[in-house]
Structure 1
Amino acid sequence: MVKIVIDAGHGLDTPGKRSPDDEREWSFNNKVALAAIAKLQTYQNVEILRVDDPTGKTDVPLQTRTTLANNWQADVYASIHHNALNGKWGKHSGVETYTMDNPTANPKSIEIAGAIHPRVVMAMGISDRGMKRANFHVLREATMPAFLTEGGFMDSAVDITKLRDDNYLKAQGEAIAEGLAVYFKLQPKPSPNRNPDEKLSIPQPEGEDQFYRPSLQTIVNSTIDVLIRLENQEEGALSPTWRKKLADGTLTNSDAIGILYVALDRGLLGDGK
């Protein structure tokens, strides 16, 4: 059983946590959290504990949140936020993901954040400001691996168009859930309407070639997984050029072939890898 803590951060009336048009950060965070929870509930052997106030009316003290998570003996702490620079509209933009800034911090935090961050960047379609370190309370006091996402700037004239679109917030939440599912090797729940022993048959239109045609999102997810696995190799981190292109949505067919070649060369696509 994988135990996942979801924290939507702050509260509706927390001072300063809002856009220049008085849109509350918790409202954005909550939509992402609900989408993440809904997606996680489609997997087997998952328990979820939400440690913020799901109504947003109370800003639950940070110590209370981490104590709940620690006492529950969670496997990971996911803190969901949205950023602000100075409370004034500007052209700044981007997604950040934080882990604890301490040499003794749990290294699994960085591994999990590595599975989350590029997916959030892709889901939001805005700039990649990178994975960073910080001494935030929830990262410091959680005894389990922990990460904190900043899914865009509330005072960005660029990002706010995405934050006001529930489809992007839903995609962000699902990206967080999918990253966790990949890291913890979660398996989807079986369909309630299908015999588990029955082979899945996908109908093909007449005249269509019988080839597998993966969706764009499937290709993106698979490529992200390969990138992460390449970066975890002893040879060192993969060239940042490919990761930047993936985050910017400019990865070419030639790039994909190059990534595949490197993965094959390092034996990442064999059985048991």
Structure 2
Amino acid sequence: MTRIYIDAGHGGNDSGAVGNGLMEKDLTLDIALKTRDILNNEYEGHEIMMSRTTDVTKSLSARTNEANNWGADYFLSIHVNAGGGTGFESFIYNGSTLPDTPSLRNILHDTIMIHVDWFDRGKKSANFHVLRESNTSASLTENGFIDNAADAEKLKSDDYLNRIARGHAEGLAEAFHLDRKDGGNGVYYRVIAGSFTSRRNAENLLDSLSEYGYDGFIGIFTHNDQTFYRVIVGSFQTRENAKNRVDELKADGFDAFIAVYEY
């Protein structure tokens, strides 16, 4: 049984970053609870402990002590960024870590990026308390910039928070090989406008799509140890809506196809 500690950053007297009518402590709690619920509703073979489930004040040491005493197999801390940037980034400790720490973080990071269209700020390391003081592998995610108007608009959307949470949940499920529950499967239809072995080629296609008014992002796909960069221009719950997007793209001169993903 895999023990996962999910830490909703800040809380109570500590609001975290503030901007555009949002508070980090509210967003991190929402994402953390959604992540917990997806894992519990759709997967098995794990236990979850939350650092908080309501708006309470809790010190950093109380969080790591609680996770360590519980015997957590993984510590995940969820945050929202500030400081004038944009996009998503993840962190592990910049000192000595358990051998599987980088690979587990990489799976989590890459899976989150499949589900969101943030700018990818990269996989980083830092001397954060929750990473340094965890006895187990740990990572910290920074989900957009609360003081960036475009990022904040996404963070105001419950649908987008669901996408962020699903990326976290499915990343954890993949990293720890959790089994899906019977009847927990569903599908969504993702429109792919291109798939490249060169990230630069994918970025060039994104630029071309943007000129035609299409929002897209790059999803990382691995097959037979080969990494592909997929340009994704829409994710839909019905095949009909995905087909409509494919038709729009083809009318504008872009090739596209539908990829079916299970969740």
TM-based fold match above 0.5: yes
Flag structure 1 segments of 5+ consecutive residues without an equivalent. 193-199, 201-212, 228-237, 265-273
The CA distance in 1 between the partners of 2:122 and 2:202, in whole Å, is: 10
Q: Which amino acid aligns with 2:104?
A: I
Note if contact 1:124-1:162 (Cα within 8 Å) is conserved in structure 2.
no
Paired residues, number: 215
The CA distance in 2 between the partners of 1:249 and 1:154, in whole Å, is: 20
Pair member with larger Rg:
1
| 1:191 aligned to which of 183, 197, 215 | 183
Aligned pair in 2 of structure 1 residues 114, 20: CA closer, same or farther (>3 Å)? same
- Equivalent position of 1:99 in the other structure: 92
Note if contact 1:13-1:24 (Cα within 8 Å) is conserved in structure 2.
no
- Equivalent position of 1:26 in the other structure: 25
Aligned pair in 2 of structure 1 residues 174, 142: CA closer, same or farther (>3 Å)? same
Flag structure 2 segments of 5+ consecutive residues without an equivalent. 207-215, 228-263
The CA distance in 1 between the partners of 2:48 and 2:147, in whole Å, is: 31
Q: How far did 1:246 drift?
A: 11
Aligned pair in 2 of structure 1 residues 72, 124: CA closer, same or farther (>3 Å)? same
The CA distance in 2 between the partners of 1:126 and 1:100, in whole Å, is: 23
The CA distance in 2 between the partners of 1:162 and 1:84, in whole Å, is: 15
Q: Which amino acid aligns with 1:216?
A: R
The CA distance in 2 between the partners of 1:144 and 1:30, in whole Å, is: 22
| 1:140 aligned to which of 132, 138, 146 | 132
TM-score (norm 1): 0.69
Aligned to 1:158, what secondary structure does the other structure show? helix
The CA distance in 1 between the partners of 2:177 and 2:224, in whole Å, is: 24
Aligned to 1:159, what secondary structure does the other structure show? helix
Q: Please identify which structure carries the higher strand content.
A: 2
Q: Which amino acid aligns with 2:37?
A: A
The CA distance in 2 between the partners of 1:38 and 1:98, in whole Å, is: 24
The CA distance in 1 between the partners of 2:170 and 2:141, in whole Å, is: 14
Aligned pair in 2 of structure 1 residues 154, 166: CA closer, same or farther (>3 Å)? same
Q: How far did 1:2 drift?
A: 0.7
Q: How far did 1:45 drift?
A: 1.4
Note if contact 2:15-2:24 (Cα within 8 Å) is conserved in structure 1.
no
Aligned to 2:107, what secondary structure does the other structure show? helix
Q: Which amino acid aligns with 1:8?
A: A
Instruction: Work out the percentage of aligned pairs sharing the same amino acid.
Output: 34
Note if contact 2:10-2:16 (Cα within 8 Å) is conserved in structure 1.
no
- Equivalent position of 1:5 in the other structure: 5
Runs (4 or more) in structure 1 with deviation over 3 Å come to 238-248, 259-264
Note if contact 1:31-1:170 (Cα within 8 Å) is conserved in structure 2.
no
Aligned to 1:216, what secondary structure does the other structure show? strand
Summarize deviations over 1:161-207 as a string: whole Å, max 9, x none.
Answer: 11000111111111111011111111111239xxxxxxx9xxxxxxx
Aligned pair in 2 of structure 1 residues 6, 24: CA closer, same or farther (>3 Å)? same
Q: How far did 1:113 drift?
A: 1.3
Q: Which amino acid aligns with 1:124?
A: V
Q: How far did 1:3 drift?
A: 0.5
Q: How far did 1:250 drift?
A: 5.0
